[in-house]
Amino acid sequence: MTTAAIIVAAGRGTRAGGALPKQWQQLGGRPIAAYAMDKFAGHPRIAQLILVLHPEDIDTPLWPREPAAHIVTGGATRAASVQAGLAAVGPDITQVLIHDAARPLVSDALIDRVLDALQSHQGAAPAVAVTDTLWHGVADQVSGVQDRSGLYRAQTPQGFHLAELLAAHATSTGLETDDVAVARAAGLDVAIVAGDEDNIKITTPDDFARAEKLMRHHMDIRCGNGYDVHRFEPGDHVWLCGVQIPHTRGLQGHSDADVGMHAVTDAIYGALGMGDIGQHFPPSDPQWKGAASHIFLEHAVALAAKEGFTISNADCTLVCEFPKIGPHQDAMKAVMAAYMGVASSRLSVKATTSERLGFTGREEGIAAIATVTLVKS
Ligand code: MG
């Protein structure tokens, strides 16, 4: 069985408040849909990820550029959007999971339960049994009690064998609220697997706070530090945080000696617990002679992404008397942000002197320290 995950992000959902469709609103510094995309893209049993977008969103920067995702334009209804996603599955795909972009807290274990159930059912979907007493009410008065036995709250991802779901959608009315309804209308059997109370659908403004609270429990937050020093040598410029600055001397080093970028790079490796620049790019290896330091930084950033982390922030302090850093701070932040794939508002580059004390005070070299925070949800 080869599985595609289709994330439906074509809705215009406005009940959550805010100016943007809810799947693009920010949760913990990222669009809501980014969390489910990461989860399915990183799941070992998912071979293809398809993201269905509203036509108006395609050419906007709203949606996360997950390189593994196949992008599809959605239709006028939810069913039409799912059908567009189904039309885009690869030739090897035999089953599909359809997930709501507004459920950011889907877990690997939940995905596995749905996939396991598909081995013996035409369809499978997670749900949570209703445990609260259910009332009927009229004008804020309790008018009756609903028997809750056999009632479930439905969740996603909903999984199906591809051929059966395609046939079911071919006869759908387009009015069904989810794919289980489409499948059942076509006579398919759909197993209920254990849902997850944390797999909430963000619908109202209150749900953002609830999701953020739940995420903090799931979150892996890592902090790393980096420290680097390079000695001055004769020259006419230095590279600091990716910016070339004219100076009366240069910095000595095996690479371009960008001490600030090296400190930030080492802080990322440090947060990952995965060594340092010297280990990944040995100075004894001639291929790194004179190398541009962004090669090191981009390697560390890619390694963090491969491990499932995003960069929450980075703070770098350059310690020197000269050159003066202030005029170049904004350019440094912009360059570093581009290499790190984060907003420059999440970066800080600042400078201090050491009051003419020590090697930096005597202008023998430049030091840099950096702190980076990585987050995995
Ligand atoms: Mg260095």
For range 281-289, the mean pLDDT: 88
Domain boundary among 218, 247, 281: 218
Q: Quick one: 194 and 342 in the same domain?
A: no
Residues 128 and 184 in one domain: yes
Tokens of 163: 């051929």
Q: What CATH number has the domain bearing residue 165?
A: 3.90.550.10
Note whether 307 and 289 are same-domain residues.
Answer: yes
Give the tens place of pLDDT for each residue, 334-374: 999 999 999 899 999 999 999 999 999 999 999 999 999 99
With 80 as the cut, is the pLDDT of residue 19 above it?
no
Interval between CA 287 and ligand 1 midpoint (Å):
16
The total number of structural domains in the chain stands at 2
Query: Would the pLDDT of 218 be above 80?
Result: no
Span from the CA of 280 to the centroid of ligand 1 (angstroms): 13
10: its two tokens: 């074509």
- Range in 16-25, 83-92, 182-191 the model is least confident about: 16-25
* Over residues 83-104, mean pLDDT: 96
Distance 327 CA to ligand 1 centre (A): 23
**How much is the average pLDDT of 24-48?**
90
For residue 310, report the distance from its CA to the centre of ligand 1, in Å. Answer: 24
Q: Which two tokens stand for residue 170?
A: 């071919």
In this structure, what CATH number is given to the domain that contains residue 247? 3.30.1330.50
Residue 30 is predicted with a pLDDT of 86
Q: For residue 229, how far is its CA from the centre of ligand 1 (angstroms)?
A: 6
For ligand 1, the distance from its centroid to the CA atom of residue 1, given in whole angstroms, is: 49
State residue 15's pLDDT score. 62
User: Do 273 and 314 belong together in one domain?
Assistant: yes
Same structural domain, 238 and 371: yes
Alpha carbon of 230 to ligand 1 centroid (Å) = 6
| 16 — pLDDT class (breaks 50, 70, 90) | low
153 shares its domain with 64: yes
Lowest mean pLDDT among 137-141, 275-279, 284-288: 284-288
**pLDDT confidence of residue 14:** 59
> Residue 293 C-alpha to ligand 1 middle, in angstroms?
9
pLDDT confidence of residue 369:
98
User: pTM for this structure?
Assistant: 0.64
Are residues 204 and 347 located together in one domain of the fold?
A: no
Query: In this predicted model, what pLDDT tens digit does every residue of 132-180 receive, in sequence order?
Result: 999 999 999 999 999 999 999 999 999 999 999 999 999 988 788 899 9
Q: Please, are residues 72 and 86 in contact by the beta-carbon 8 Å criterion?
A: no
Q: Which of 218, 244, 260 is the last residue of a domain?
A: 218
Q: CB atoms < 10 A from the CB of 60, how many? A: 11
Residue 65 clears pLDDT 90, i.e. is over it: no
The range of the structural domain enclosing residue 314 comes to 220-376
Q: Over range 53-75, report the average pLDDT.
A: 87
Please say whether the beta carbons of 79 and 171 come within 8 A.
Answer: no
For residues 227 and 213, state if they share a domain: no
Sorting pLDDT into bands at 50, 70 and 90, what band is 272? very high
If asked whether residues 11 and 113 sit together in one domain, one would say yes
Distance 376 CA to ligand 1 centre (A): 28
- pLDDT over 70, % of the chain: 98
Please give the average per-residue pLDDT across 79-107, as a whole number: 96
- pLDDT of amino acid 354: 96
Ligand 1: centre distance to CA 323 (Å): 18
Q: Which of 218, 253, 271 is the last residue of a domain?
A: 218
Task: Please check whether residues 170 and 44 belong to one and the same domain.
Answer: yes
pLDDT at 256 > cutoff 90: yes
Mean pLDDT, to the nearest integer, of 240-257?
95
Mean pLDDT of the chain: 93
CA–centroid distance, 225 to ligand 1, in Å, is 14
> How much distance in Å is there from the Cα of 258 to the middle of ligand 1?
7
Q: 333 CA to middle of ligand 1, Å? A: 19
Please give the distance, rounded to the nearest whole angstrom, from the Cα atom of residue 306 to the centre of ligand 1: 24
| Three-state helix/strand/coil letters over the chain | CCEEEEEEECCCCCCCCCCCCHHHCEECCEEHHHHHHHHHHCCCCEEEEEEEECHHHCCCCCCCCCCCEEEEECCCCHHHHHHHHHHCCCCCCCEEEEEECCCCCCCHHHHHHHHHHCCCCCEEEEEEECCCCEEEEECCEEEEEECCCCCEEECCCEEEEHHHHHHHHHCCCCCCCCHHHHHHHCCCCEEEEECCCCCCCCCCHHHHHHHHHHHHHHCEEEEEEEEEEEEEEECCEEEECCEEEECCEEECCCCCCCHHHHHHHHHHHHHHCCCCHHHHCCCCCHHHCCCCCHHHHHHHHHHHHHCCCEEEEEEEEEECCCCCCHHHHHHHHHHHHHHHCCCHHHEEEEEECCCCCHHHHCCCEEEEEEEEEEEEC
- In a shared domain, residues 94 and 189: yes
With a CB cutoff of 8 Å and minimum separation 6, the contacts of 101 are 7, 8, 9, 11, 23, 32, 33, 36
Distance CA 2, CA 191 (A): 19
Same-domain status, 161 and 288: no
pLDDT value for 233: 97
How far, in Å, is the centroid of ligand 1 from the Cα of 318?
Answer: 13
